[in-house]
Amino acid sequence: MRGSLRRVLGVAALSSKWILRQPTWMIQDVLIIASLFIILTAWGGREAAMNLVAAWIVVGAWGVGVNGVGQEVGWSRIARYYYMYVASPLKPLEYLAGIVLGNMPLVAVDASVLVAASTLLLGDPSIVLYGLAGGFMLLPVAVFTGLSIVLRLRRPTNISAVTNPVTFILTLLPPVFYPLSILPPVLRPAALLVPTVAAAELARSLAGLSVASYPPIVPFTVLAAWLVASGLAAGRVVRWGLE
């Protein structure tokens, strides 16, 4: 157990080096969140700001899985670190856990800012907890998606050209930052099948926002199905050392 924990922490330390070397990324995140929070509160009121909180955490979780894990694996293959991991006693789940843990400082900073903003401007930081509930259910799906992409690319240098569009397409186009209720009723069930949408809708529904279209059990079931499906798919296509 101790050996496994040390291996996870070792990978996390290596994966988080870029954050420690470039802390301005976290400052940028803080400024963006604060700016959007003020803008949406001014134009859309309390519920618009709460929707932003839930969506931001969901998008962050998706980014950690697809961009964080996908790009970390891709660039480690380019630098040949990946093959060192494969040849070591490190297990695949330890490797993944280490990468996810190494990206957590960004999530922690975002969550802290959102808690502070929710408390000061809304008087209720509980929406952050609901966003985390949706985000953590989404995270394994995002990790499996990132792995499935990067381990199938013949040229790992192309990883950003694939993961970035996948992230934007699944977070900006579907109803993540905007409520599912805006869509015509006939389109809502199809949109809810998108994992990022289900995670955001779960957070909105748990928070009791009036823009939520479904009770919590519906998006929860969709996310649970994605967890099972992505886990089974990853077990077939992802292999330790697969080229």
Q: Where are the domains of the chain?
A: 23-237
Distance set, CA 14 to CA 18, 28, 73, 81, 119 (Å): 8, 22, 12, 10, 34
In terms of Cα–Cα distance, which of 118, 143, 145, 120 is closest to 203?
A: 118
Under 8 Å between Cβ of 133 and 202: yes
Tens of pLDDT, residue by residue, the chain (243 residues): 667 888 888 888 877 776 667 677 778 778 888 888 888 878 878 788 888 888 888 998 898 888 878 777 777 777 777 777 777 788 877 888 888 888 787 788 888 888 888 887 777 788 888 989 999 999 989 888 887 777 776 666 667 777 888 888 899 889 999 888 889 999 999 999 999 999 999 999 998 888 888 999 999 999 999 998 887 877 666 666 544
| Distance separating alpha carbons of residues 96 and 190, to the nearest angstrom | 31
